[in-house]
Amino acid sequence: MDRSRLDGLASSITGRGQVEREPVFRELRELGLSPIEAIYVASRVLGLSLPEAKTAIYASAAWRDQQEDWQRLQSGLEE
């Protein structure tokens, strides 16, 4: 994960002015970011903690289809 690139993206999105969750989540998905990268950027753009950003992303229309895969991955790591 290239944090410098992601921080630049977050600054670019924030620089546009008022931001709303769904358009941000949709843009991050369209840019091809991984879920972890999207959570990182969304947390900075929307002023959320990382856990809040994760919950918000997987509740969004843009990322909802990824929630099951993510939960399966986490469950596998916990076993």
The pTM for the full model equals: 0.81
Domain borders along the chain are 3-78
pLDDT tens for each residue of 49-76: 999 999 999 899 998 887 776 666 656 6
**pLDDT for position 18:** 77
HEC states along 5-67? HHHHHHHHHHCCCCCCHHHHHHHHHHCCCCHHHHHHHHHHHHCCCHHHHHHHHHHCCCCHHHH
